[in-house]
Amino acid sequence: MHHVQCVLQASKCLGWGSLASGSWLLLRTCRAHSSVSGITCPSPKGEQEDGVRKDFGSRLATGPTFQHFLRSASVPQEKLPSPDLGDPPPYLTVDQLSGRQRKVYLETYGCQMNVNDTEIAWSILQKSGYLRTSNLQEADVVLLVTCSIREKAEQTIWNRLHQLKALKMKRLRSRAPLKIGILGCMAERLKEEILSREKVVDVLAGPDAYRDLPRLLAVAESGRQAANVLLSLDETYADVLPVQTGPSAASAFVSIMRGCDNMCSYCIVPFTRGRERSRPVASILEEVRKLSEQGLKEVTLLGQNVNSFRDNSEVQFSNAGSTTLSRGFSTNYKTKQGGLRFAHLLDQVSRIDPEMRVRFTSPHPKDFPDEVLQLIHERDNICKQIHLPAQSGSSRVLEAMRRGYSREAYVELVHHIRESIPGVSLSSDFIAGFCGETEEDHRQTVSLLQEVRYNTGFLFAYSMRQKTRAYHRLKDDVLEAVKLRRLEELITVFREEATKVNEASVGCTQLVLVEGLSKRSAADLCGRNDGNLKVIFPDVEMEDATDSGPTARAQPGDYVLVKITSASSQTLRGRALCRTTLRAASALLC
């Protein structure tokens, strides 16, 4: 049994290889093949084809052994002294793969997907015998879950690595060496560059390689760098139950798909997170059921394009109809067929627990068929909140971005959504200063902000990313100062409009899910309304509308009816009326 385990581990080492030595491995494998199967590979300088063939027997005897390949699966570390363990073991034993109670400190950067990925990585490490610590000083392993979406996100990580380097050097004098790992998008985008630029990094794991973390850390323990940045076509971590942490104790993120096929010209995501793939519906439902049993009151379904969800895992689903895109929208890829779609998933998830709010992010505007809109409208526990990333208000820029819609098609969709879901909250992402954006294009974006009046907005200055279509085909020709000025203008307009929209809710009664004490004042509670806007109200005793028990203060996870008394662009303030349930409130608020 033990033997089988070792062989499996060995073959995994070879197949998945440590990245920095990947090319070495490939070359050697190729030479072996060329001799055995007669396929010709480039010969090393000075060697003649004939010579290679004649000599094969003796060369094979003196050539690299299997253990050579295994040994090459990691790169010796320079500068930072590492324990001299001699040759690394040819394979890793169960004991070496175990965390042996070493303490891991996890730090998350970037989007909500990364928050979820952190918990997936942690779930895998926990099973492998690691402990988690929230105290950096006592950590044996520090893992940064990183983001590559903009230059600034990566710069933050480089800066953090410099701080960690100091900690690592200090640690060398006291206890066992600190191991540092880069996980996620930056590991995927920069690969070897990180290992060679920052000798302080021991482990590199791309977004699809978290299952390999115990092995990578075991290799790192032997004083070598280890990496796995292979992207997968089917990894969804469906069977790895993340140890949940959501925006609050009462809510959790549930990943429903990974990767992206959209290929918007500015975006690095398809390169860092790979092809789009959906998690089987059954495993999502099982996770949501468990969260409901734990008493959680909100789930956010997560993915890069949640509404393009398509579960093709069951043969009987694969004949279902093809995609219906929103009117005036197109895709950069061939229309996909069959599978269980997002409307089905949303329907099923929302039926699990009527007291559990359901949100989703991020969708793409192209996939909003009427049945999704209808469902959001009808189901009390699906929040009437849609993120509809526009990116620009200029059709010309949208085309350069390869978004697959014009401004007119987008605006028509907004009207259709507002008709289908009265009172819906809308949010959006915008990029200021994309390649070729003129002042007129910029004005069009300003006017879109004014026309749509979003409740929430995420605004960014364009940051050129290597590998993307824009990097290869377009010119990053808007001056940095101009990008920033335009960004400022977008922020100002967005705030003005959001303030007007939010002020309209003053005097209304809203259902708020309590998250906890307000960060600004311990006398106030903070929660979120259906539109995901923060609502602050005094922490006082109140009645429960659904029973006649004594008055009590609201706790995280309670629903409270709040009368809104004032509003700003990002927050509402109000007065608590009573505790209640989602179902009771829905009957009352309609």
Q: Quick one: 111 or 291, whose CB is closer to ligand SF4?
A: 111
Name the minimum Å distance from CB 209 to ligand 5AD: 22
Partner from ligand 5AD, ligand SF4, none binding residue 291, C-beta < 5-8 Å depending on class: none
Q: Taking CB under 6 A as the rule, does residue 460 contact ligand 5AD?
A: yes
Q: Quick one: 430 or 559, whose CB is closer to ligand SF4?
A: 430
Q: Quick one: 154 or 539, whose CB is closer to ligand SF4?
A: 154
Alpha carbon distance 181, 306 (integer Å): 29
Backbone angles phi, psi at 78, to 5 degrees: -110, 170
DSSP secondary structure string for all residues of 179-225: EEEEEEHHHHHHTHHHHHH-TT--EEE-TT-GGGHHHHHHHHHTTEE
Q: What kind and span of H or E run contains 318?
A: none
Interaxial angle between packed helices 213-221 and 2-16, expressed in degrees from 0 to 180 and rounded to the nearest 10: 90
Name the minimum Å distance from CB 540 to ligand SF4: 39
In eight-state DSSP terms, residue 118 is H
Name the minimum Å distance from CB 264 to ligand 5AD: 7
Q: Judged by CB under 6 A, which of 269, 376, 512, 576 binds ligand SF4?
A: 269
Q: Taking CB under 6 A as the rule, does residue 283 contact ligand SF4?
A: no
Reference 303, options 445, 117, 474; nearest CA is: 117
Q: Quick one: 218 or 301, whose CB is closer to ligand SF4?
A: 301
Residue nearest to ligand 5AD (CB): 429
Partner from ligand 5AD, ligand SF4, none binding residue 272, C-beta < 5-8 Å depending on class: ligand SF4
Partner from ligand SF4, ligand 5AD, none binding residue 114, C-beta < 5-8 Å depending on class: ligand SF4
Q: Taking CB under 6 A as the rule, does residue 463 contact ligand 5AD?
A: yes
Partner from ligand 5AD, ligand SF4, none binding residue 389, C-beta < 5-8 Å depending on class: ligand 5AD
Site string for ligand 5AD, 465-494 (x = CB under 6 A): x-----------------------------
Positions in 249-278 near ligand 5AD (CB under 6 A): 266-267
Stretch that binds ligand 5AD, among 255-263, 458-466, 479-487, 569-577 (CB under 6 A): 458-466
Question: Is there a contact between 469 and 263 (Cβ–Cβ < 8 Å)?
Answer: yes
Reference 590, options 426, 384, 373, 415; nearest CA is: 384
Q: Taking CB under 6 A as the rule, does residue 262 contact ligand SF4?
A: no
The token duo for 409 is 């098609």
Alpha carbon distance 189, 149 (integer Å): 10
Reference 273, options 227, 299, 242, 305; nearest CA is: 305
Question: Is there a contact between 333 and 261 (Cβ–Cβ < 8 Å)?
Answer: yes
Full strand arrangement of the beta sheet holding 298-302:
251-255, 298-302, 357-361
Name the minimum Å distance from CB 533 to ligand 5AD: 20
Sign of the torsion angle spanned by Cα atoms 303, 305, 311, 313:
negative
**Beta strands at 541-542 and 534-538: parallel, antiparallel or unpaired:** unpaired
Burial degree of 368 (CB within 10 A; 0-12, 13-18, 19+)? buried
C-alpha distance across the termini of the chain, in Å: 63
Alpha carbon distance 422, 426 (integer Å): 11
Site string for ligand 5AD, 357-396 (x = CB under 6 A): --------------------------------x-x-----
Backbone angles phi, psi at 357, to 5 degrees: -70, 145
Alpha carbon distance 398, 389 (integer Å): 12
Q: Taking CB under 6 A as the rule, does residue 310 contact ligand 5AD?
A: no
Q: Quick one: 66 or 158, whose CB is closer to ligand SF4?
A: 158
Q: Taking CB under 6 A as the rule, does residue 502 contact ligand SF4?
A: no
Burial degree of 363 (CB within 10 A; 0-12, 13-18, 19+)? buried
Q: Taking CB under 6 A as the rule, does residue 431 contact ligand 5AD?
A: yes
Alpha carbon distance 222, 145 (integer Å): 23
The token duo for 505 is 């809710």
Block residue for tokens 């004032």: 566
Q: Quick one: 149 or 205, whose CB is closer to ligand 5AD?
A: 149
Q: Quick one: 150 or 179, whose CB is closer to ligand 5AD?
A: 150
Q: Quick one: 102 or 387, whose CB is closer to ligand SF4?
A: 387
Q: Taking CB under 6 A as the rule, does residue 149 contact ligand 5AD?
A: yes
Angle at 414 between CA 408 and CA 419, to 5 degrees: 130
Total of chain residues touching ligand 5AD, rule CB under 6 A: 12
Which positions ≥6 away from 504 have C-beta within 8 Å? none
Q: Judged by CB under 6 A, which of 120, 147, 161, 409 binds ligand SF4?
A: 147
Stretch that binds ligand SF4, among 265-273, 309-317, 468-476, 495-503 (CB under 6 A): 265-273
Q: Quick one: 434 or 537, whose CB is closer to ligand SF4?
A: 434
Alpha carbons within 13 A on the beta-carbon side of 60: 10
CA separation, residue 248 to residues 298, 386, 453, 516 (Å): 9, 20, 28, 8
Which three-class secondary structure state does DSSP give residue 252? strand
The residues that bridge with 358 in the sheet, in sequence order, are 299, 382
Name the minimum Å distance from CB 19 to ligand 5AD: 24
**One-letter amino acid of 241:** L
Partner from ligand SF4, ligand 5AD, none binding residue 306, C-beta < 5-8 Å depending on class: none
Partner from ligand 5AD, ligand SF4, none binding residue 150, C-beta < 5-8 Å depending on class: ligand 5AD
Site string for ligand SF4, 148-187 (x = CB under 6 A): xx----------------------------------xx--
Name the minimum Å distance from CB 113 to ligand 5AD: 10
Q: Judged by CB under 6 A, which of 371, 429, 503, 543 binds ligand 5AD?
A: 429
Q: Taking CB under 6 A as the rule, does residue 272 contact ligand SF4?
A: yes
The token duo for 549 is 């028990």
Q: Judged by CB under 6 A, which of 25, 70, 113, 564 binds ligand SF4?
A: 113
Positions in 398-417 near ligand SF4 (CB under 6 A): none
**What residue ranges bind ligand SF4 (CB under 6 A)?**
110-111, 113-114, 147-149, 184-185, 268-269, 272-273
**What residue ranges bind ligand 5AD (CB under 6 A)?**
149-150, 266-267, 389, 391, 429, 431, 460, 462-463, 465
